[in-house]
Protein backbone atom coordinates (compact mmCIF):
# COMPACT_ATOMS: atom_id res chain seq x y z
CA UNK A 1 0.00 0.00 0.00
CA UNK A 2 1.07 3.59 -0.68
CA UNK A 3 0.17 6.70 1.27
CA UNK A 4 -1.39 10.03 0.33
CA UNK A 5 -1.49 13.17 2.44
CA UNK A 6 -4.86 14.89 2.24
CA UNK A 7 -5.84 18.37 3.44
CA UNK A 8 -9.48 19.23 4.08
CA UNK A 9 -11.35 22.22 5.39
CA UNK A 10 -14.40 21.86 7.59
CA UNK A 11 -17.53 23.99 7.38
CA UNK A 12 -20.30 24.56 9.90
CA UNK A 13 -23.18 22.19 9.08
CA UNK A 14 -25.73 25.02 9.19
CA UNK A 15 -24.00 28.28 8.22
CA UNK A 16 -21.53 26.50 5.87
CA UNK A 17 -18.80 28.87 7.06
CA UNK A 18 -15.26 27.53 7.26
CA UNK A 19 -14.42 26.60 10.86
CA UNK A 20 -11.34 24.36 10.76
CA UNK A 21 -8.58 22.80 8.65
CA UNK A 22 -7.42 19.19 8.86
CA UNK A 23 -4.56 17.11 7.49
CA UNK A 24 -4.51 13.32 7.45
CA UNK A 25 -2.59 10.53 5.71
CA UNK A 26 -4.47 7.63 4.14
CA UNK A 27 -3.39 4.35 2.58
CA UNK A 28 -4.27 3.65 -1.03
CA UNK A 29 -3.40 1.41 -3.97
CA UNK A 30 0.16 1.30 -5.18
CA UNK A 31 1.16 4.14 -7.49
CA UNK A 32 4.43 5.39 -8.93
CA UNK A 33 5.78 8.32 -10.94
CA UNK A 34 4.38 6.87 -14.18
CA UNK A 35 0.85 6.68 -12.70
CA UNK A 36 0.58 10.39 -11.94
CA UNK A 37 -1.18 12.74 -12.47
CA UNK A 38 -3.95 10.40 -13.67
CA UNK A 39 -4.08 8.35 -10.46
CA UNK A 40 -4.73 11.42 -8.32
CA UNK A 41 -7.20 12.96 -10.78
CA UNK A 42 -9.25 9.79 -11.28
CA UNK A 43 -9.44 8.91 -7.59
CA UNK A 44 -10.11 12.31 -6.04
CA UNK A 45 -13.61 11.36 -4.87
CA UNK A 46 -12.42 8.20 -3.11
CA UNK A 47 -9.41 10.04 -1.67
CA UNK A 48 -11.62 12.78 -0.22
CA UNK A 49 -14.17 10.30 1.14
CA UNK A 50 -11.60 8.11 2.85
CA UNK A 51 -9.74 11.09 4.31
CA UNK A 52 -12.96 12.79 5.45
CA UNK A 53 -14.11 9.67 7.31
CA UNK A 54 -10.69 9.34 8.94
CA UNK A 55 -10.88 12.95 10.15
CA UNK A 56 -14.52 12.56 11.25
CA UNK A 57 -13.65 9.52 13.35
CA UNK A 58 -11.38 11.69 15.50
CA UNK A 59 -14.31 13.74 16.78
CA UNK A 60 -17.08 11.10 16.91
CA UNK A 61 -17.09 9.02 20.09
CA UNK A 62 -18.04 5.42 19.35
CA UNK A 63 -19.15 4.76 22.92
CA UNK A 64 -21.77 7.52 22.67
CA UNK A 65 -23.83 5.50 20.19
CA UNK A 66 -26.04 2.51 20.81
CA UNK A 67 -25.26 0.75 17.53
CA UNK A 68 -22.62 0.55 14.82
CA UNK A 69 -25.05 1.90 12.24
CA UNK A 70 -25.78 5.02 14.29
CA UNK A 71 -22.05 5.60 14.76
CA UNK A 72 -21.35 5.21 11.04
CA UNK A 73 -24.25 7.50 10.14
CA UNK A 74 -22.73 10.19 12.32
CA UNK A 75 -19.32 9.67 10.69
CA UNK A 76 -20.96 10.20 7.30
CA UNK A 77 -22.69 13.38 8.52
CA UNK A 78 -19.43 14.90 9.73
CA UNK A 79 -17.61 13.78 6.57
CA UNK A 80 -20.12 15.75 4.51
CA UNK A 81 -18.80 18.97 6.07
CA UNK A 82 -15.22 18.30 4.91
CA UNK A 83 -14.03 19.70 1.56
CA UNK A 84 -10.87 18.70 -0.28
CA UNK A 85 -8.16 21.36 -0.36
CA UNK A 86 -4.91 19.52 -1.14
CA UNK A 87 -3.49 16.14 -2.13
CA UNK A 88 0.21 15.27 -2.02
CA UNK A 89 2.78 12.52 -1.57
CA UNK A 90 3.77 12.55 2.12
CA UNK A 91 7.27 12.36 3.58
CA UNK A 92 8.93 12.79 0.20
CA UNK A 93 11.74 14.94 -1.15
CA UNK A 94 10.17 17.62 -3.36
CA UNK A 95 11.71 19.19 -6.45
CA UNK A 96 10.89 22.40 -8.29
CA UNK A 97 9.76 22.11 -11.91
CA UNK A 98 9.30 24.71 -14.64
CA UNK A 99 5.78 24.10 -15.98
CA UNK A 100 3.80 25.40 -18.93
CA UNK A 101 0.17 24.98 -19.94
CA UNK A 102 -2.63 26.34 -22.11
CA UNK A 103 -5.99 27.45 -20.73
CA UNK A 104 -9.13 26.30 -22.58
CA UNK A 105 -10.61 28.46 -25.32
CA UNK A 106 -8.78 31.75 -25.69
CA UNK A 107 -7.47 31.67 -22.13
CA UNK A 108 -3.87 31.92 -23.23
CA UNK A 109 -0.59 30.48 -22.00
CA UNK A 110 0.28 29.71 -18.37
CA UNK A 111 3.72 29.19 -16.92
CA UNK A 112 5.01 28.87 -13.37
CA UNK A 113 7.05 26.77 -10.97
CA UNK A 114 5.36 23.83 -9.26
CA UNK A 115 6.76 21.41 -6.69
CA UNK A 116 6.37 17.67 -6.49
CA UNK A 117 8.01 14.44 -5.43
CA UNK A 118 8.10 13.54 -9.13
CA UNK A 119 7.15 15.08 -12.45
CA UNK A 120 3.68 13.53 -12.33
CA UNK A 121 2.86 15.14 -9.00
CA UNK A 122 4.10 18.50 -10.31
CA UNK A 123 1.81 18.06 -13.32
CA UNK A 124 -1.14 17.32 -11.02
CA UNK A 125 -0.44 20.45 -9.02
CA UNK A 126 -0.10 22.46 -12.24
CA UNK A 127 -3.53 21.28 -13.39
CA UNK A 128 -5.01 22.26 -10.02
CA UNK A 129 -3.35 25.69 -10.13
CA UNK A 130 -4.57 26.28 -13.69
CA UNK A 131 -8.08 25.19 -12.70
CA UNK A 132 -8.17 27.75 -9.87
CA UNK A 133 -6.86 30.44 -12.20
CA UNK A 134 -9.50 29.43 -14.74
CA UNK A 135 -12.34 29.94 -12.28
CA UNK A 136 -12.61 26.83 -10.11
CA UNK A 137 -13.67 27.60 -6.56
CA UNK A 138 -15.45 25.76 -3.80
CA UNK A 139 -18.82 27.12 -2.66
CA UNK A 140 -20.00 25.16 0.40
CA UNK A 141 -23.31 27.01 0.35
CA UNK A 142 -24.31 25.58 -3.02
CA UNK A 143 -22.38 22.33 -3.48
CA UNK A 144 -21.54 19.22 -1.50
CA UNK A 145 -17.95 18.04 -1.03
CA UNK A 146 -18.42 15.40 -3.74
CA UNK A 147 -19.86 17.97 -6.15
CA UNK A 148 -16.85 20.20 -5.52
CA UNK A 149 -14.53 17.31 -6.37
CA UNK A 150 -16.43 16.62 -9.60
CA UNK A 151 -16.18 20.29 -10.52
CA UNK A 152 -12.42 20.23 -9.91
CA UNK A 153 -12.04 17.14 -12.08
CA UNK A 154 -14.01 18.81 -14.88
CA UNK A 155 -11.80 21.91 -14.70
CA UNK A 156 -8.65 19.77 -14.74
CA UNK A 157 -9.86 17.94 -17.85
CA UNK A 158 -10.19 21.28 -19.63
CA UNK A 159 -6.60 22.35 -18.93
CA UNK A 160 -3.77 21.35 -21.25
CA UNK A 161 -0.12 20.96 -20.32
CA UNK A 162 2.28 21.64 -23.19
CA UNK A 163 4.67 18.92 -22.11
CA UNK A 164 7.28 21.38 -20.85
CA UNK A 165 8.01 20.08 -17.38
CA UNK A 166 11.64 20.15 -16.39
CA UNK A 167 13.58 20.52 -13.16
CA UNK A 168 14.07 24.18 -12.25
CA UNK A 169 17.46 25.44 -13.46
CA UNK A 170 19.31 28.63 -12.49
CA UNK A 171 18.13 31.67 -14.44
CA UNK A 172 19.51 35.11 -15.22
CA UNK A 173 18.16 36.42 -11.92
CA UNK A 174 20.15 33.77 -10.04
CA UNK A 175 23.33 34.74 -11.90
CA UNK A 176 22.66 38.39 -11.09
CA UNK A 177 22.21 37.55 -7.41
CA UNK A 178 25.52 35.66 -7.40
CA UNK A 179 27.31 38.60 -9.03
CA UNK A 180 25.87 41.03 -6.45
CA UNK A 181 27.10 38.77 -3.67
CA UNK A 182 30.58 38.60 -5.21
CA UNK A 183 30.67 42.38 -5.73
CA UNK A 184 29.81 42.91 -2.05
CA UNK A 185 32.63 40.57 -1.00
CA UNK A 186 35.03 42.34 -3.40
CA UNK A 187 34.23 45.68 -1.75
CA UNK A 188 34.31 44.59 1.88
CA UNK A 189 36.06 41.21 2.09
CA UNK A 190 39.56 39.89 1.65
CA UNK A 191 41.08 38.35 -1.46
CA UNK A 192 40.82 34.91 0.12
CA UNK A 193 37.11 35.50 0.88
CA UNK A 194 36.50 36.55 -2.71
CA UNK A 195 38.45 33.61 -4.15
CA UNK A 196 36.48 31.11 -2.05
CA UNK A 197 33.17 32.76 -2.90
CA UNK A 198 33.93 32.69 -6.64
CA UNK A 199 34.99 29.03 -6.59
CA UNK A 200 32.10 27.88 -4.37
CA UNK A 201 29.48 30.05 -6.08
CA UNK A 202 30.50 29.01 -9.58
CA UNK A 203 30.61 25.32 -8.60
CA UNK A 204 27.11 25.49 -7.10
CA UNK A 205 25.67 27.44 -10.05
CA UNK A 206 27.16 25.12 -12.68
CA UNK A 207 26.19 22.05 -10.64
CA UNK A 208 22.54 23.11 -10.53
CA UNK A 209 22.62 24.02 -14.21
CA UNK A 210 23.71 20.55 -15.28
CA UNK A 211 22.31 18.42 -12.45
CA UNK A 212 20.80 15.12 -13.57
CA UNK A 213 17.51 14.73 -11.69
CA UNK A 214 15.92 11.31 -11.26
CA UNK A 215 12.13 11.07 -11.40
CA UNK A 216 12.15 8.49 -8.62
CA UNK A 217 9.99 9.28 -5.58
CA UNK A 218 12.43 9.60 -2.69
CA UNK A 219 10.80 9.01 0.69
CA UNK A 220 12.41 10.64 3.73
CA UNK A 221 12.62 9.57 7.35
CA UNK A 222 10.02 11.33 9.50
CA UNK A 223 12.49 13.81 11.03
CA UNK A 224 13.90 14.83 7.65
CA UNK A 225 10.42 15.03 6.12
CA UNK A 226 9.39 17.65 8.68
CA UNK A 227 12.22 19.89 7.49
CA UNK A 228 11.86 19.20 3.76
CA UNK A 229 10.40 21.93 1.51
CA UNK A 230 6.67 21.46 1.06
CA UNK A 231 4.64 22.01 -2.07
CA UNK A 232 1.68 24.34 -1.69
CA UNK A 233 -1.33 25.10 -3.76
User: Residue 193 belongs to what H/E stretch?
Assistant: helix 191-210
Going residue by residue through the chain (233 aa), what tens digit of pLDDT does each one get?
A: 699 999 999 999 999 999 999 999 999 988 988 899 999 999 999 999 999 999 999 989 888 888 989 999 999 999 999 999 999 999 998 888 989 999 998 889 999 999 999 999 999 999 999 999 999 999 999 999 999 999 999 999 999 999 877 766 556 666 677 677 878 888 888 888 877 877 776 667 666 655 656 678 888 876 444 444 443 33
| pLDDT value for 170 | 56
> If 0-12 CB within 10 Å is exposed, 13-18 middle and 19+ buried, where does residue 227 land?
exposed
| pLDDT value for 94 | 86
Q: Where are the domains of the chain?
A: 2-169+212-227, 172-210
| pLDDT value for 215 | 74
Task: Tell me if residue 38 falls in helix, strand or coil.
Answer: helix
| pLDDT value for 230 | 41
Q: What pTM does this model have?
A: 0.78
Q: What is the pLDDT of residues 36-89, one digit of tens each?
A: 999 999 999 999 999 999 999 998 988 888 898 999 999 999 999 999 999 999
Rg of the chain in Å (alpha carbons): 22
Say how far apart CA 77 and CA 139 lie, in whole Å. 18
Beta-bridge partner residues of 87: 6
Amino acid sequence: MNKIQVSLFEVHPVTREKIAEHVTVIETDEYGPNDLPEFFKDNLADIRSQAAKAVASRSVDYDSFGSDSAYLDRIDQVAETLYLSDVSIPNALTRAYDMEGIYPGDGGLWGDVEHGACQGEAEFRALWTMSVNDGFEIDPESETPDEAVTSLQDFMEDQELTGMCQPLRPKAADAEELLKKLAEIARNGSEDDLRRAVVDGAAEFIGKLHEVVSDEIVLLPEAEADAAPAAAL
